[in-house]
Chain A
Amino acid sequence: MEILMALVIGILFMCATYLMLSKSLLRIIVGTGLLSHGAHLLILTMGSLKRGAVPLLGENASSYTDPIPQALILTAIVISFGVTAFFLVLAYRAYQELGTDNMDKMRGNKGND
């Protein structure tokens, strides 16, 4: 199971890298989304995907699931959600102001200032 997850995460990172290297701003944003998905899945996998009872003291089970990775993912998801929302608004505003979503045309040359 861990191997499969590792493959999935790897593919997600691969797609994210590809998308973030493209010129279009929207593709880049989708890339950052995929990157954070990959990172979240990685946290889940790193906590080892064991099955078991809920981590409560009274359960007396032989194995418990680890709650910490889930708490971490929840936090990370909220943060990446916020950042993505901000990024989308920023991209739209930049498109209105600069008239392009092409990263090539957003270079910091003197002529563009």
Chain B
Amino acid sequence: MINFLLLPILIPLMTGVLLIFFPKQIKWQRWMAGILSFITIIVSTMLVQKVKTNGIQTLNVSSWDAPFGITLVSDMLSALLVLTTSIVAFACLLFSFRSIGEEREKFYYYPCFSFLIVGVNGAFTTGDIFNLFVFFEVMLMASYALMVLGGTKIQLRETIKYLLVNVISSALFVITVAYLYSVVGTLNMAHISERISEVGQPGIITVIAILFLIVFGVKGAIFPLFFWLPGSYYAPPVPVMALFGALLTKVGVYSIMRTYTLFFYHDTGYTHQILAILAILSIIFGVIGAIAYSDIKKIVIYNIIIAVGAILFGVSTMTPDALTGSVFYLIHDMLIKAALFLLVGVMIAITGTSNLKDISGLIKRYPGLAWTFFVSALALAGIPPLSGFVGKLLIIKGGFEAEQYGGAAIVLMSSLLILFSIMKIFINGFWGAPRAYEGEEKVPVRTLMIAPVALVIISVLYGVGSELVFPYISQATETLVNPEIYIEAVLKER
């Protein structure tokens, strides 16, 4: 079936459209969103398997041959990311059932949720640079709605800032695409890459590369452009925050990965050097934020920035090892960040506060929560054999190969400080004298724990079974290292 790679985009789209029609039947909304989200996981697993056996899948929409029409391309990287997105989405959905509250559910929470997944999966799958912009907008529109849904004061205030930042970066995206079009005269990503290699990356292409870095850097929250993230992600309720933290910034990271390995790999001296410096600064500032705050949400939010830095440092070195590590770490980070956010959500649900100073002794009554949190903290810091280890090892190895000793050392040291920042939550929040919290009996801790526990288990399996996962990851890296494979698969008809 040639349309297969469209299904992870189509199923959430159909879910969203259907659910709009009966907003008040919450039971139906939950069941349909849950079942269809689960089907998306199955379909994306099949897609990964299909890409594994048959190579890169492409679809020319409406049978307009590439490079004239819009092409959807599923190589291993995008297929894996679509699968991870589907898993994370399902987990956040499960968590939402018991925590988001009827008020929000009645006002189109599930349709917005589905449209967000449409945007994310679409952005991962598309092979057309303008279509990428369109899917970005789909994703952003849904995220504006999700962020403001509920209409509390802090949400309204932060959504305005978030919207303004994203409107500006979207305008820049359009401008960048226009510049690129004027230079290469095409929008198909494979074709752009081919044309750029024909002209051999003149100066104007480097300017465009930096513009792309700014555009995707705003979405992906790299160093000077992450200023909006801590405030904005703090505002919405936990499942939405988990979804944003796990998926939205990663779309920006994926886009940088894609453009910097597919388009701008001819003259890496300037662009990739800047990327490396910004990545390292992101790590440093992220670590400072994560250590400085004593608010559990803020600590995890700053950890997003650190992870983005680590992944992009791997990309900037452009060695096969580091790229493999980046892909590995990207998927790990999506899973573990979602798990951590949801666990933090459970803590907030129990205690009613996110201030670490008001929380202590949770391990006495909730040992399951405590140990799941402990495992996910170790995985985040990259303790072997958990999932963060392999990715970081490869990124650092690649960094040394590219003789970026300083950067690699900072990535290495950041692990220690990440561990410190998360252990701060563990030590202060779970140890110490148990306290009584108002209304804690009413919190359905067991049902809330299902989603994060499942995510942590997947992440542990991903780390322990990295031998088994590795063929998939290395296939994903192959297209990043050799753009010809990608170009050939898309433009094969000619």
Q: Enumerate chain A interface residues (CB-CB to B < 8 A).
A: 20, 25, 28, 32, 35-36, 38-40, 42-43, 45-48, 68-69, 72, 75-76, 79-80, 82-83, 86-87, 90-91, 93-94, 97-98, 103, 106, 108, 112-113
**Contact call B175/A39, Cβ cutoff below 8 A:** yes
Task: List B residues 166-183 near A (Cβ within 8 Å).
Answer: 167-168, 170-171, 174-175, 177-179, 181-182
A39 contact from B130, B141, B144, B174, Cβ within 8 A: B174
**Contact call B137/A90, Cβ cutoff below 8 A:** no
B355 CB, min distance to chain A CBs, angstroms:
11
**B156 in contact (CB, < 8 A):** yes
**Contact call B163/A98, Cβ cutoff below 8 A:** no
B142 CB, min distance to chain A CBs, angstroms:
11
B235 CB, min distance to chain A CBs, angstroms:
9
Residue tally, chain B, CB below 8 Å to A: 33
Known: A42-B178, A93-B151. 10 other contacts (CB 8 A): A39-B178, A40-B174, A43-B177, A48-B182, A68-B187, A72-B130, A80-B170, A83-B141, A87-B164, A103-B160
Bound Cα distance A87, B170 (Å): 14
B398 CB, min distance to chain A CBs, angstroms:
37
Q: List 12 A-B contacts (CB under 8 A).
A: A42-B178, A68-B187, A69-B178, A69-B181, A80-B167, A82-B141, A83-B141, A83-B163, A86-B144, A98-B153, A103-B160, A108-B154
Closest 7 CB pairs of A and B: A46-B182, A46-B178, A94-B156, A43-B178, A39-B174, A39-B171, A35-B171
Bound Cα distance A39, B176 (Å): 9
**Contact call B156/A93, Cβ cutoff below 8 A:** yes
B157 contact from A38, A69, A98, Cβ within 8 A: A98
A39 CB, min distance to chain B CBs, angstroms:
4
**B361 in contact (CB, < 8 A):** no
CB-nearest residue of chain B to A83: B167
B396 CB, min distance to chain A CBs, angstroms:
36
Bound Cα distance A90, B164 (Å): 11
Bound Cα distance A43, B163 (Å): 23
**B159 in contact (CB, < 8 A):** yes
The interface residues of chain B lying within 8 Å CB-to-CB of A39 are 171, 174-175, 178
**B369 in contact (CB, < 8 A):** no
**B148 in contact (CB, < 8 A):** yes
Main secondary structure of the interface of B (DSSP, over half): helix
Bound Cα distance A103, B154 (Å): 13
**B158 in contact (CB, < 8 A):** yes
Q: How does the 8 Å CB contact mask read for B128-169 relative to A, with 1 for contact and 0 for none? A: 001001100100010011001001011011111101100110
Bound Cα distance A57, B177 (Å): 27
The interface residues of chain B lying within 8 Å CB-to-CB of A32 are 164, 167-168, 171
Bound Cα distance A69, B178 (Å): 8
The interface residues of chain A lying within 8 Å CB-to-CB of B148 are 90, 93
Q: How does the 8 Å CB contact mask read for B180-202 relative to A, with 1 for contact and 0 for none? A: 01100001000000000000000
The interface residues of chain A lying within 8 Å CB-to-CB of B182 are 46-48
Bound Cα distance A72, B178 (Å): 9
A85 CB, min distance to chain B CBs, angstroms:
11
CB-nearest residue of chain B to A84: B167
**B231 in contact (CB, < 8 A):** yes
**Contact call B159/A28, Cβ cutoff below 8 A:** no
Most chain A CB neighbours (cut-off 10 Å) among B144, B174, B175 = B174
A22 CB, min distance to chain B CBs, angstroms:
12
CB-nearest residue of chain A to B167: A32
Given contacts A83-B167, A108-B158, contact A113 B130 (CB under 8 A): no
**Contact call B157/A106, Cβ cutoff below 8 A:** yes
The interface residues of chain A lying within 8 Å CB-to-CB of B151 are 93, 97
A77 CB, min distance to chain B CBs, angstroms:
10
B185 CB, min distance to chain A CBs, angstroms:
9
Bound Cα distance A48, B47 (Å): 41
B458 CB, min distance to chain A CBs, angstroms:
34
The interface residues of chain B lying within 8 Å CB-to-CB of A72 are 130, 174, 177-178, 181
